[in-house]
Amino acid sequence: MNTRDEGLIKFKLTLKRAPAPEKTQVIALEKWRALFFKLGLVGEYPIDNIGYGNLSSRLFKKTFIITGSQTGHLAHLQAHHYTKVIDCDLKKGSVTAEGLIPPSSESLTHYGIYEANPAIQYIYHVHHQALWEMLKDGPYDCIEEDIGYGTLEMAEAAKVLLADKTSGVFVMKGHEDGIIAYAPTAEEAGKIILELYRKLATRQ
């Protein structure tokens, strides 16, 4: 049995078969994902064979590109490993997507963050136990441990938490190792993660 509540889609999904996103739409995401994979911030838990970490970028108001479900074991993703989320309903807990594979199990959470502030254009969700512990115990934004990953409650909590924020990071206390950075640009979101990673290194 899996010991982690991880990787399972917890929303009602409608996946419309459609061509993969354009390569130009995933270049920035893939640049950072490849780096995070090298650092172990995105990947797969070997014992449970469950992927972790996901990245997304906003296309339009309610449309965004996100890494596909269960792609964590791959060092490099192609365009067909990404999926376009075209609509979400936080009241019904539903996601409608277009592509060749299901979107990340954290799609609702990403949607809640994009709904919080139109300035937010990129979201990077990474995993790192020591970094998670550092953020959880420090002066950082957090979502409490009684709220599970990928749920409607998580999406709603993120939307409320980030209502007046355009960039930053928060830790999900109820999602082991889970950390999310968000920003108006790909570079800014990536640098938030890297700066925290370097800060952790100086402590160890």
> Which tens digit of pLDDT belongs to each residue from 106-125?
999 999 999 999 999 999 99
Classify 53 in phi/psi space as left (phi over 0), alpha (psi -120 to 50) or beta.
left
pLDDT at 105: 86
For residues 69 and 132, give the distance between their C-alpha atoms in angstroms, rounded to a whole number. 22
For residues 169 and 185, give the distance between their C-alpha atoms in angstroms, rounded to a whole number. 14
pLDDT digits (tens, 9 = 90+) for 83-92: 999 999 988 8
**Token code pair at residue 129:** 């136990």
Name the 3-class secondary structure at 129.
helix
pLDDT at 1: 33
Which DSSP state fits 145?
Answer: T
Name the 3-class secondary structure at 5.
coil
**pLDDT cut 90: percent of the chain above it:** 72
Is the confidence at residue 189, as pLDDT, over 90? yes
Q: How would residue 204 be classed by pLDDT, with cut points 50, 70 and 90? A: low
For residues 119 and 96, give the distance between their C-alpha atoms in angstroms, rounded to a whole number. 23
Residue 72 CB: number of other CB atoms within 10 A?
24
Which DSSP state fits 103?
Answer: B
Residue 48 or 34, more confident: 34
pLDDT at 46: 82
Would the pTM count as exceeding 0.85?
yes
